[in-house]
Amino acid sequence: MMLCAMAFPLVFVSCGKDNSGNGDSNKKENTGGSGGNGGNQGGDVVTVNVKAGEDLQAVLDAAAPGSLVRVQGGVTFKGCFKMRDGVSMSGGWNATFTEADAEDNKTVLDGEGNGRTLDQNIDFENVTVVTGFEIKNGKEENGAGAYIKKNGVLDACYIHDNAAMNNGGGIRINAGGICRNSEITNNTANNNGGGVYMYGGTLENCEVTFNKADNNCGGGAQLQDAAVITGCTFARNSASNGGGIRVYGNGGVIANCLIAANTKSDKGTGKLAGTGLTTNGNCTIINCTIVANQGNDDVDSQNSPGLYFGNGGSDSPVYNCIIWGNKYLEGITTGRQIKGTRVGLVNNAVAGGDETDPDVIVLSYDETDGEETADPKFVSAKNNIFRLKNDSPLIDKGMDDIVLAFPKDLDGNARVSGEHVDLGCFEVQK
């Protein structure tokens, strides 16, 4: 169900294997295998099997903390399901419950438009993992597909076609909650966070695509407070402000992410905004690649198709990033890639440079080389392959100490492979 396996005309390089042997970042681990603890708190794990046609919610309600509920794959359970503290749930099992292959045989949870499909209604005391499910057709005020709070973990799931009347069309994550190794696609929110709304919490190794928050902000995701996003792809999302990501609140981190081909909806033309990434709160941005996002404003507007610093976001530090190839109205790429008021950039590469902060690597706007300017030398920007070639001028040009907390690139490879860290979300492996 992941992006690589779907017949989209636009396939991004966070998927599958590349010629450099970076490995398959699309394969997801099923954490709830037979005899495993599925994230529960040690000791012997009691496993309970649920087959097609059985009452899944009744089994969850009856299971004791520390149990692992294993659910048959390739079948659909309709309704709105409540998680239970310490009761983990693993989908994708065959009919004899001897093997799980959730990647190709997920268990479907279908909310049928009658409420939130998967709900963790309180903070949990015990780590509780839900893995290997397709979550769809939720309709709720916020967090329509899933609502994950403290000690809840959503892993290797496919979250799609959910709709929130307010925030978090696909999923809402609160402080202490985690969503990882998942695809979040084709969800909508009337307000903020078409794909993901984060009030704290962590989003890691996810693909967030084709989500919409057209009436407001954060088509792919909206961050509140100290939320962390790392190793994720945001592509083909749409919003009036922050088509890929919008930051609102302070203390967040976005690291090792690809933010590409997101768009700005026509409904928000008058707002001061950015299409790829908008910061209206202070957030640390590390080793991201912000490319090929499409705005709907002309070059002379105050808006940016790449990165925009709004009110309250001026202190956001930006390290080791590439900002290139983002387009204004009619496909113009030669305007400024960064707009808004900010303190400064550190070790970044920007198409055309930056008039406010000259301490950047100046890139040409096109895939051409010259003696004084150069493009990033992506493997193939026209084919959306945003890894760096071996002769890219952006190799070994980053600050090493800033990546210590995030040691893996978007492919899951070591973040420092040569003398220094490379710029952008991918590290060339030496």
**pLDDT per position in the chain (430 positions), as tens?**
343 333 333 445 444 333 333 333 333 333 333 333 334 444 578 999 999 999 999 999 999 999 999 999 999 999 999 999 999 999 999 999 999 887 789 999 999 999 999 999 999 999 999 999 999 999 999 999 999 999 999 999 999 999 999 999 999 999 999 999 999 999 999 999 999 999 999 999 999 999 999 788 999 999 998 999 999 999 999 998 999 999 998 999 999 999 999 999 876 444 668 899 999 999 999 999 999 999 988 888 888 899 999 877 788 999 999 999 999 988 888 888 999 887 778 899 999 988 777 779 999 988 876 655 689 999 999 899 999 999 999 999 999 999 999 999 999 999 999 999 999 999 999 8
* pLDDT for res 345: 82
How many alpha carbons fall within 13 Å on the CB side of residue 229?
34
* pLDDT for res 102: 74
d(CA 354, CA 339): 9
Residue identified by tokens 């649920």 is: 50
pTM (predicted TM-score): 0.90
The per-residue b/e assignment along 251-267, b for 16 or more CB within 10 angstroms, e otherwise, is: bbbbbbbbbbbbbbbee
Contact 12, 26 (CB under 8 A): no
Contact 257, 230 (CB under 8 A): yes
| CA distance between the termini of the chain | 32
Structure tokens at 409: 């690139």
Map residue 331 onto helix, strand or coil: helix
d(CA 254, CA 45): 36
* pLDDT for res 24: 36
Contact 175, 150 (CB under 8 A): yes
* pLDDT for res 18: 38
219: CB partners within 8 A, 6+ apart: 194, 195, 211, 212, 213, 237, 238, 239, 242, 243, 244, 262, 263, 265
Map residue 405 onto helix, strand or coil: coil
The Cα diameter of the chain in Å comes to 70
Which amino acid appears at position 414 of this protein?
A
* pLDDT for res 43: 55
The per-residue b/e assignment along 357-375, b for 16 or more CB within 10 angstroms, e otherwise, is: beebbebbbeeeeeeebbb
SS3 helix, strand, coil % of the chain, rounded to 5? 5, 35, 60
